[in-house]
């Protein structure tokens, strides 16, 4: 009963009120402490500002490599012997197919000559030919006949035309001319034969007696008087030929087979005219075919060997190494380094190994900026000429080789190490701001006095600042293009160090809602650079 009385009395009510006040005082102290900390945090926040200005933005992939010539070739002297001549100097330019070395090939030439003779004989055995010009008088075989070496195929009667070279003494230049009439007097025959001058010797010459002589070739049709060898003289113009000249008349020729086989392709008949070298027929059969095949192979082999002694340049380029010169002996002797190195320096090439995550952004035709420590301060322009579809995997990462061609090679040399920058895309003279200034949701914090602050979003911003909506374009490692939402004269603000939205709330920074209003706290950076959450 005393306890209830105590609680229901004034003292009891006062105690309860005091307890409530005490709780209120404790709660108010906590809130005060929180506000104090927030103000301290806000006082410590320092923004970096930047002007919205026009600049050039380039997005590129970088790498390094070693320069190589457009083409290179190492010439090796395959023949052995003394080098008779060389036609170039180290550092000089040689043209494609230019003769570089001539090597003594006397031994091989003998072999090639014999191989050529064997091939000619095998070819004639396969395809018998007329050895004189004339008229077919007899045909001894028919198509399909089997023949052996020595079998007579046909007989050819020599043509009756006469060609005689006469000599005239003490003649003057111009006294004879082609087409001039001539009279031929055959020894032992009455009268003469009409002829025509066919050729005049280019200069006079002295015979054994010391007299100056001019040779004149006269042609005539044999009327049938001349059947064997005889002598003749001639009168041309006012001159009579010196002495007697022997006249040879062809007696005909019998064509025989020189290999076994069957006759085919024979079309000649008695009375047909033939010329020296004309094919008579074809001899078919394994024996004659194999003979021709083997002879041809031997000739080609000998010619290939002979080619080894005439060394030519396979490309147009610059000689960068010359180890053999005229007078040296090459081959299996003491000088075993018989090489000659030629570079085609029309342009240079390099290979860049691009990561699998970036290779889809690389295309043939993209511009490449090339720099070298050896050529400090100079930038050379190249172009992507090949993007390989075959990659190389190492350490769990796959890279793909990309070939770059550099035509502007002034001062660059094969073997130099260079850095390259493949330009993926670029924009000149565009409005740009630091990439860190773009927040999640493509918002940017600008100073209140910026012209674009008039388009401020309904979003709480630090005092003296406003948030505006922007549209972004291309970006590089540091800057991003703004295609709308900002203008020249605006000033943007951001934090240099990136934090997530939750971290900023914990630190008591203003604008730290999960909507990501704080500069640098956003995670939607187009370039994927700092500031991403």
Q: How far apart are CA 302 and CA 298, in angstroms?
A: 6
- Over residues 25-31, mean pLDDT: 41
Regarding predicted confidence, which is higher, 23 or 151?
151
Q: What is the pLDDT of residues 374-419, one digit of tens each?
A: 988 899 999 999 999 999 999 999 999 999 999 988 889 999 999 9
User: Would you state the structure tokens that stand for residue 251, as one six-digit string?
Assistant: 């007696």
426 closest CA partner among 131, 56, 176 = 56
Assess contact for 419 and 452: CB atoms under 8 A: no
Contacts of 62 (CB under 8 A, 6+ apart): 419, 420, 421, 422
Q: What pLDDT band is residue 340 in, cutting at 50, 70 and 90?
A: confident
Crossing angle (nearest 10°) for helices 286-307 and 106-126? 160
Structural tokens at position 529: 């650079």
Q: Which two tokens stand for residue 265?
A: 């392709």
Quickly count: other Cβ atoms within 10 Å of residue 320's Cβ: 16
Per-residue pLDDT tens over the stretch 158-217? 877 788 899 998 888 788 999 999 999 988 888 898 999 999 986 566 666 667 888 999
CA 131/CA 452 separation, integer angstroms: 105
Q: Give the number of other CB atoms < 10 A from CB of residue 489.
A: 12
Q: Is the distance from CB of 401 to CB of 388 less than 8 angstroms?
A: yes
| Spatial contact of 169 and 242, defined as CB atoms under 8 Å apart | yes
């Amino acid at each position: 009963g005393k306890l209830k009385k105590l609680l229901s009395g004034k003292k009891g009510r006062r105690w309860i009120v005091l307890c409530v006040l005490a709780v209120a005082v404790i709660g108010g102290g906590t809130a005060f402490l929180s506000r104090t900390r927030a103000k301290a945090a806000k006082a410590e926040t320092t923004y970096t500002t930047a002007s919205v200005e026009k600049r050039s933005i380039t997005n590129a992939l970088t790498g390094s490599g070693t320069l190589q010539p457009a083409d290179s070739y190492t010439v090796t002297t395959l023949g052995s012997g003394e080098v008779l001549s060389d036609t170039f100097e180290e550092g000089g330019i040689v043209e494609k197919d230019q003769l570089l070395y001539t090597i003594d090939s006397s031994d091989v030439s003998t072999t090639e000559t014999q191989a050529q003779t064997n091939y000619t004989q095998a070819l004639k055995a396969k395809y018998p030919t007329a050895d004189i010009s004339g008229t077919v008088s007899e045909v001894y075989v028919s198509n399909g006949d089997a023949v052996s070496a020595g079998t007579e195929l046909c007989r050819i009667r020599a043509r009756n035309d006469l060609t005689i070279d006469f000599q005239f003494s003490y003649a003057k230049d111009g006294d004879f001319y082609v087409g001039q009439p001539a009279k031929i007097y055959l020894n032992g025959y009455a009268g003469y034969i009409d002829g025509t001058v066919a050729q005049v010797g280019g200069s006079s010459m002295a015979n054994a007696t010391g007299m100056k002589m001019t040779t004149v070739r006269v042609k005539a049709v044999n009327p049938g008087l001349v059947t064997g060898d005889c002598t003749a003289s001639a009168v041309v113009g006012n001159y009579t030929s010196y002495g007697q000249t022997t006249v040879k008349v062809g007696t005909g020729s019998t064509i025989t087979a020189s290999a076994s086989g069957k006759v085919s392709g024979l079309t000649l008949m008695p009375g047909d005219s033939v010329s020296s070298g004309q094919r008579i027929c074809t001899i078919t059969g394994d024996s004659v075919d194999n003979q021709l095949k083997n002879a041809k192979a031997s000739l080609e082999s000998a010619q290939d060997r002979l080619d080894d002694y005439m060394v030519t340049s396979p490309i147009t380029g610059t000689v960068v190494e010359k180890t053999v010169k005229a007078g040296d002996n090459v081959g299996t002797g003491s000088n075993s380094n018989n090489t000659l190195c030629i570079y085609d320096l029309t342009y240079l090439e390099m290979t860049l190994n691009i990561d699998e995550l970036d290779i889809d952004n690389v295309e043939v035709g993209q511009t490449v900026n090339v720099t070298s420590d050896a050529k400090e301060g100079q930038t050379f322009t190249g172009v992507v000429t090949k993007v390989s579809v075959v990659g190389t995997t190492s350490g769990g990462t796959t890279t793909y080789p990309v070939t770059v061609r550099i035509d502007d090679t002034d001062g660059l040399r094969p073997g130099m190490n260079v850095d390259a920058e493949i330009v993926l895309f670029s924009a000149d003279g565009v409005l740009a701001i630091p990439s860190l200034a773009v927040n999640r949701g493509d918002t940017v914090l600008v100073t209140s006095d910026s012209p674009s602050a008039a388009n401020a979003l309904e979003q709480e911003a630090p005092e003296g600042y406003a948030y505006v909506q922007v549209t972004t374009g291309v970006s590089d490692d540091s800057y991003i293009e703004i295609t709308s939402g900002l203008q020249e004269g605006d000033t943007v603000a951001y934090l240099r160090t990136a934090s997530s939205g939750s971290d900023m709330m914990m630190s008591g920074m203003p604008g730290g809602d999960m909507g990501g209003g704080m500069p640098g706290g956003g995670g939607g950076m187009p370039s994927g650079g700092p500031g991403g959450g």
